[in-house]
């Protein structure tokens, strides 16, 4: 008998629409393959839905804050029902760009240099820091958003305007801008699944490039690297997956410049939409969408 799967979808983050899309597509594929499926928002009805539906596994299709930062995971732990993707601690670490980058640095994984900025600080002092440590242009981003939400490339001239746009975050990351190729790597449990290169028509692989089919980002697979460089890339992604304590599927975002790979971040809950990268990498490796989802459901019960 096929499992009963509760899909957590929607949520309150800025990635709500992506989460709804992921949830719908996963639900459609599971239903087509004989599973009994229920979609639930992570709201006040969640406990009731779990108790009445009695799922054997929960597929976490949430993205962004509350969904992949350890918060919903800590709630799910109470029910003692297997759930997909990483657990509480790994999720919270991966979502916090400052903490995860410090861990990368400690383990000798190259990542762009960065500083953080709190809005009590003077912008003139920040500009001095940037000039000394990073140089312009820089990447300005929230500490705990996914899908490149509110990520900007800033010159000195427009830094003040960008910081004003992000004022609701109280604290942001200012990161060294690395030119070069955009490469994403998928890890599937203990398996180094594969990689894909992205050539966005836009300035960089931002939210629109990821989710708007009109943005026409070019997906290149296999990635044009020597076997030695490809193995090096996969090993870095796998190392990051392990040191953060992830399980299930993760996707690591890299920049490749002058022979070096720079790890930008690791995503513990990569999207499962028609434009998503992990399903595309998996398919190239002979794993279709339903097989990928079924593996994730099976892996959910193998908690560390």
Sign of the Cα torsion 289, 100, 194, 242 reads negative
Q: Which of 152, 169, 211, 256 is catalytic?
A: 211
**Is 15 annotated as catalytic?**
yes
Q: Which of 9, 154, 252, 267 is catalytic?
A: 267
Sign of the Cα torsion 50, 54, 55, 56 reads positive
* DSSP β-ladder status, 4-8 and 36-40: parallel
Going by C-alpha positions, the residue among 197, 204, 207 that lies closest to residue 233 is: 197
**Is 265 annotated as catalytic?**
yes
**Is 213 annotated as catalytic?**
no
Q: How far apart are the C-alpha atoms of 115 and 135, rounded to whole Å?
A: 12
Q: Which of 10, 11, 15, 70 is catalytic?
A: 15
What is the total residue count of the chain? 304
Q: Which of 251, 256, 262, 276 is catalytic?
A: 251
| Tokens 């070069």, residue located | 180
**Is 251 annotated as catalytic?**
yes
**Is 267 annotated as catalytic?**
yes
Q: Which of 265, 280, 294, 299 is catalytic?
A: 265
**Is 155 annotated as catalytic?**
no
Q: Which of 29, 145, 182, 253 is catalytic?
A: 253
Specify burial of residue 127 (Cβ count, 10 A radius: 0-12, 13-18, 19+): middle
**Is 19 annotated as catalytic?**
no
**Is 23 annotated as catalytic?**
no
Q: Which of 23, 146, 194, 271 is catalytic?
A: 271
**217 by DSSP, 3-state: which?**
coil
Asked, as a colleague might, if the bond just before 113 is cis with ω within 30 of 0, I would say: no
Q: To 5 degrees, how large is the angle CA 137–CA 140–CA 142?
A: 170
Catalytic residues: 15, 147, 211, 251, 253, 265, 267, 271
């Amino acid at each position: 008998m096929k499992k009963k799967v509760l899909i957590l979808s929607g949520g309150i983050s800025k990635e709500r629409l992506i989460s709804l899309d992921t949830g719908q597509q996963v639900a459609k594929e599971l239903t087509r393959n004989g599973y009994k499926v229920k979609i639930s928002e992570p709201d006040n009805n969640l406990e009731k839905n779990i108790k009445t539906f009695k799922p054997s596994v929960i597929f976490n299709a949430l993205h962004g804050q509350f969904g992949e930062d350890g918060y919903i995971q800590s709630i799910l732990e109470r029910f003692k029902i297997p759930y997909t993707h990483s657990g509480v601690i790994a999720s919270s670490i991966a979502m916090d760009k400052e903490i995860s980058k410090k861990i990368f640095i400690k383990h000798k994984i190259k990542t762009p240099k960065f500083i953080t900025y709190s809005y009590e600080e003077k912008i003139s002092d920040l500009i001095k820091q940037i000039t000394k440590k990073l140089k312009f242009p820089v990447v300005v981003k929230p500490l705990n958003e996914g899908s490149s939400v509110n990520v900007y490339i800033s010159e000195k001239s427009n830094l003040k305007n960008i910081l004003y746009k992000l004022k609701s975050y109280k604290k942001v990351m200012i990161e060294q801008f690395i030119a070069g190729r955009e490469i994403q790597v998928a890890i599937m449990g203990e398996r180094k699944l594969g990689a894909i290169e992205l050539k966005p028509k836009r300035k960089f692989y931002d939210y629109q490039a990821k989710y708007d089919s009109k943005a026409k980002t070019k997906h290149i697979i296999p990635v044009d690297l020597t076997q030695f460089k490809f193995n090096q890339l996969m090993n870095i992604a796998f190392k990051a997956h392990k040191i953060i304590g992830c399980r299930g599927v993760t996707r690591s975002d890299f920049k490749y410049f002058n022979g070096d790979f720079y790890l930008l971040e690791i995503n513990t809950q990569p999207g499962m939409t028609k434009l998503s990268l992990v399903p595309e990498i998996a398919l190239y490796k002979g794993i279709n969408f339903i097989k990928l989802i079924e593996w994730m459901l099976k892996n959910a019960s193998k908690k560390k």
